[in-house]
Amino acid sequence: MNKRILIVDDSFYMRTMLKNMLTDAGYDVVGEAANGQQALEMAVATTPDLITLDVILPDNTGLDVLKGIRQQQPDAKVVMCSAVGQETIVNEAIENGALAYIVKPFSEERVLEIVGSALQGDGSPV
Amino acid sequence: MTAREQEYRELFMAEALEYYDAMSRHLSELERNPQDVGALNELFRLMHNLKANARAMGFVDMGEVAHKMETLFGQIRGNERTFTGSLVTLTFRAVDILGNMIRAVGAGQDSADAKPLLENLEQLIQGQEVVEATEAPTEEEADADAARKLELSDLVYIPVKKLDNLLNLVGELVIDRDRILTLAAELGHPALQATARHLFRISDDLQYSVMDVRLVGAGVLLNKFPRVVRDVATAEGKQVELVLAGQDVQIDRNVLQLITDALLHIVRNAVSHGLETPEARQAAGKRATGRLIISALTERDDVLIQVQDDGRGIDTEAVRKKAVRKGMITTEAAAALDEQEVWALLFEPGFSMADKITDISGRGVGLDVVKLAIDSLGGRLRVNSELGKGTTFTLVLPTSIAVKGALLIELDERAYAVPLLHTDTVLALPNDQVFAVGGLLMTHIQEENVPLVPLRQLLYSEGDELLPRATRSDLPTDGSLLQVLVVSYNNRRLGLIIDRFLRQQNIVVKSLSKPLDTIDLFGGVTLLGSGQLCLVLDVPALTRLFLAKRP
């Protein structure tokens, strides 16, 4: 079975690009959430193998969403996504269980490398 | 620009314009109430998104302006500074410039030099008051500002279902148009004929425009194959390098949908039977890893999808022998066939080259199903092979197809489709509602005597021979009801006696290609969801045939 991924990003453009990259590589994108509320609901509904999580969201920060998801599913694998400038939040996210950090703008190789190793890893940061 | 790049650009533009509108709105809110945390958070988020998206698109200046603005709003949010003084003027100006940059991208123009603005923003970030706020808009810019209209996104998203519906309607329109053209010609009214010709041109354009909307990149399907190939290769112990090409070639989304299974079959076949095991390849002096190329390309009005392997190739002699063994052909006839003709045998029903039955393929259902699917679209299947070098399957597909509503009926265990446009009503008649007049069976529907004729007789009648005279003794003696489909053409009703009704469904009709296009009882073919080929009855032709042959 293909690995199942949930994309959380408030930009439709970003989600589409990520979805194309992941789908082309043979992953199943099981959901796309545009805000924190949707993200939490979809994480429960779809139980994905991995979540890519944007740091800045309209309703709450990615950090709150990360904590919420990890509370619901302590084993959830989450990779943070952000443009430069949010390193503080990203570091805090890693301390709160995020596995890695993809810097926007990202290359396809970089995304697949990080997603691949996060999925294969034992749950420690990659 | 590839189709995907084009798509990204359009998405970027649509979203950037949305961001720009929202930024302007929140900036005004913040000016009215500098303590508005919601507006501040939104401005920060929008700048952050615009920065990331612009950089992903390679719009460096736009990304840089958004980045500095994000930093500034971050400082305000962190209470390092207040939204007052030259900061207010400059941020409004900066958002205007961002708007200009976004519009310049949309218009395919270069945007003005952002350097002065970037320097001013940097000064602000460093905590210096900007003495000389970015120069006031020039006269030209002011004019442009005044002339600026409100802009909505140029992009809408439409579910395929709505597009199907649209094409259906266009299909109906085209049929009515053709009828109006015929009537106009019959009536010989000049003004009506001129209008009919105009209607013809307009509806033709409309049809093409609608079809154009339904085109998608072939990559939508091709990109699903890396996984398929990997799985089959693993199961079969093969090493395969997959190359995809032509993902941007445009094709009707429903054509792709209809060939999905066929292509899946060919690709699995190529890995399972075409490519050899690593050991066999090395023994033959080849690279251990086989190469499989799946590509799409455009050729005039057609789209070609090719599956090319560098495997063992088709053993023409083995195919000949097998066809003879299966009783499909005599030894002499087989010997007389050339290579191409022998390969064509692969697409005959029941022919399967697999020596061992696997889960992947070789279950007797094979390339014949592939051929049917492609036939139903009016496409062609070509094969080319060289023993020891490899095989290439080429699917020649139409770029587009048309969809229409139809009633499916069954006769002699075969399904036929009748376009809804020509169906009037369906009846199940007991014998006592049928009477015979002048060698014809008739029934009474809404004060009208409608002739009944077994569809079988119309389809199987030959030459100029008249239909046999019918009497009531032809009616079922076991008390079963007569299944009748009443069709209408030119206000004339005709009851076709069939075996049973199947269902109503939307079908994709493809006209028959040569030499079958001379058989005028059939308006085309369609492929049912079951993969079964189904002929579409031409009601006008059937009616004409009935009138010519009535006893």
Across the interface, whether the CB atoms of B49 and A57 are under 8 A apart is answered: no
- Please report whether residue A126 resides in a domain: no
Asked whether residue B377 is domain-assigned, the answer is yes
- Alpha-helix runs per DSSP H in B78-138: 86-107, 115-125
Average pLDDT over residues B360-383: 67
Residues of A in contact with B67 (CB under 8 A): 83-85
Task: Please indicate, yes or no, whether residues B435 and B454 belong to a single structural domain of this protein.
Answer: yes
- Is 80 exceeded by the pLDDT of residue A95? yes
In the predicted structure, residue B101 carries a pLDDT above the cut 70: yes
Give pLDDT, residue B135: 52
With beta carbons under 8 A apart, name residues in chain B contacting A34. none
Condensed to tens digits (0 to 9), the pLDDT of residues B9-33 reads 888 998 898 899 889 888 888 888 8
Query: The complex's ipTM?
Result: 0.87
Facing B15 at nearest CB: one of A11, A82, A83: A11
Q: Residue B482 belongs to a domain with what CATH number?
A: 2.40.50.180
- CB of A104 within 8 Å of any CB in chain B? yes
pLDDT band at B253 (very low <50, low <70, confident <90, very high): confident
Say which residue, B261 or B174, is predicted with more confidence: B261
Could you give the 3-state DSSP secondary structure of residue B467?
coil
Query: Looking at this protein, which amino acid is placed at residue B392?
Result: T
- End-to-end Cα separation, chain A, in angstroms: 23
In a domain, B305, yes or no: yes
Q: What is the pLDDT of residues B208-237, one digit of tens each?
A: 788 778 888 888 888 778 878 888 898 889
Residues 6+ apart with CB under 8 A from B533: B372, B375, B376, B525, B526, B527
CATH of the domain at B332: 3.30.565.10
Residues B482-528: pLDDT tens digits?
Answer: 999 999 876 678 999 999 988 876 676 766 766 666 677 887 887 66
Within an 8 Å CB–CB cutoff, is residue B77 touching chain A?
no
In this structure, are B142 and B26 located in the same domain? yes
Q: What is the predicted pLDDT for the residue at B148?
A: 54
Tell me how far the alpha carbon of residue B19 is from its chain's centroid. 33
Q: Which positions in chain A touch B7 (Cβ < 8 Å)?
A: 16
CA nearest to A17, candidates A85, A101, A125, A110: A110
Do B227 and B350 lie in a common domain? yes
Is the bond into A48 cis (omega within 30 degrees of 0)? no
pLDDT of B542 higher than 70: yes
Residues B371 and B247 in one domain: yes
Task: Say which CATH number the domain at A24 has.
Answer: 3.40.50.2300
- Residue B530 is classified by DSSP as T
pLDDT score recorded for residue B227: 76
User: Is residue B473 domain-shared with residue B523, that is, in the same domain?
Assistant: yes
Are both B194 and B256 inside the same structural domain?
no
Full domain range(s) for residue B67:
3-147
Residue B141: pLDDT over 70: no
Question: Are the C-beta atoms of residues B490 and B543 closer than 8 Å to each other?
Answer: yes
Dihedral angle over CA of B206, B211, B212, B216, nearest 10: 160
B429 occurs within a structural domain: yes
Partners of residue B74 in chain A, C-beta under 8 Å: 85
How many Å lie between the alpha carbon of A3 and the closest alpha carbon of chain B? 11
User: What is chain A's mean pLDDT, rounded?
Assistant: 88
Q: Are residues A20 and B4, on separate chains, in Cβ contact within 8 Å?
A: yes
Evaluate whether residue A55 is within a structural domain.
yes
Q: Which residue has the tokens 């009633």?
A: B407
Cβ-defined contact of A13 to B8 (cutoff 8 Å): yes
Last residue of a domain, one of B398, B421, B455: B398
Can you read off the two tokens belonging to residue B250?
């445009």
Using the beta-carbon criterion (under 8 Å), do A12 and B223 form an inter-chain contact? no
Please, where are the H alpha helices in B108-138?
115-125
SS3 state at B242:
strand
Do B256 and B355 fall within a single domain?
Answer: yes
Q: Calculate how close chain B gets to A81, using CA atoms only, in Å.
A: 10
The pTM of the full predicted model, rounded to 2 decimals, is 0.48
Same domain, B463 and B493: yes
Mean pLDDT of all residues in A76-87: 84
The pair of three-digit structure tokens given for residue B204, joined into one six-digit string: 């033709």
Q: Report the domain count for chain A.
A: 1
Instruction: Please tell me the total count of domains within chain B.
Output: 4
Q: Nearest CA to A82 among A102, A52, A96? A: A102
Q: Which comes out higher in pLDDT, residue B533 or B104?
A: B104
**Domain with B91 in it: what CATH number?**
1.20.120.160
Work out whether the CA dihedral B211, B215, B218, B223 comes out positive or negative: negative
Give the tens place of pLDDT for each residue, B267-289: 998 998 899 999 999 999 999 99
Nearest-neighbour CA in chain A from B13: distance (Å):
9
**Number of other residues whose CB lies within 10 A of the CB of residue B156:** 7
Q: Are B398 and B255 in contact (CB under 8 A)?
A: yes
In a domain? residue A125: no
Count of CB pairs separated by less than 8 Å, A with B: 62
Q: Are residues B60 and B13 in the same domain?
A: yes
Instruction: Answer whether residue B423 shows pLDDT above 90.
Output: no
Tell me the backbone φ, ψ of residue B500, rounded to 5 degrees: -165, 165
In the listed set B382, B398, B414, which residue is the last one of a domain according to the structure? Answer: B398
Size of chain A, expressed as the number of residues it contains:
126
Which of B129-133, B165-169, B337-341 is least confident? Answer: B129-133
Rounded to an integer, the average pLDDT of A81-93 is: 81
Asked if B53 and A13 come within 8 Å (Cβ–Cβ), the reply is yes
Looking at residues A98-106, what average pLDDT do you find? 87
Share of chain B above pLDDT 90, in %: 25
Question: Does position B358 have pLDDT exceeding 50, yes or no?
Answer: no
Is A25 part of a structural domain of the chain?
A: yes
Are B516 and B447 in the same domain?
Answer: yes
A85 in B contact zone (CB under 8 Å): yes
The residue range of the domain holding A67 is 4-120
Longest dimension (CA), chain B: 107
B200: domain CATH number is 1.10.287
In terms of CA atoms, which chain A residue is nearest residue B69? A85
Q: Tell me if B152 is assigned to some domain.
A: no
Verify whether the Cβ–Cβ distance A26 to B11 is below 8 Å: no
Q: Using a CB-CB distance cutoff of 8 angstroms, which residues of chain B are in contact with residue A12?
A: 11, 14-15
Q: Does residue B171 or residue A83 have the better pLDDT?
A: A83
- Does the CB of B53 have a partner CB in chain A at under 8 Å? yes
pLDDT, residue B131, reads 60
**Domain boundary residue, one of B194, B213, B232:** B213
Q: Yes or no: say if A26 and A1 are a contact pair by the CB < 8 Å rule.
A: no
pLDDT category at B378 given cuts 50, 70, 90 is low
Q: What is the pLDDT of residue B249?
A: 84
CB-CB neighbours of A80 under 10 Å: 28
Residue B265: phi, psi to the nearest 5? -65, -45
What mean pLDDT is reported for chain B?
82
CB B299 within 8 A of CB B305: no
Domain assignment present for residue A97? The answer is yes
Residues 225-264 (B) with a CB less than 8 A from some CB of A: 226-227, 230
A100 forms beta bridges with: A79
Q: pLDDT at residue B168 above 80?
A: no
Query: B512 with B382, same domain?
Result: no
B154 within domain boundaries:
no
B10 to chain A, any CB pair closer than 8 A? The answer is: no
Alpha carbon distance B154, B320 (integer Å): 59
> Do B225 and B349 sit in the same domain of this protein?
yes
- Asked which of A122-126, B56-60, B306-310 is least confident by mean pLDDT, the reply is A122-126
Q: Which residues pair with B428 in a beta bridge?
A: B483
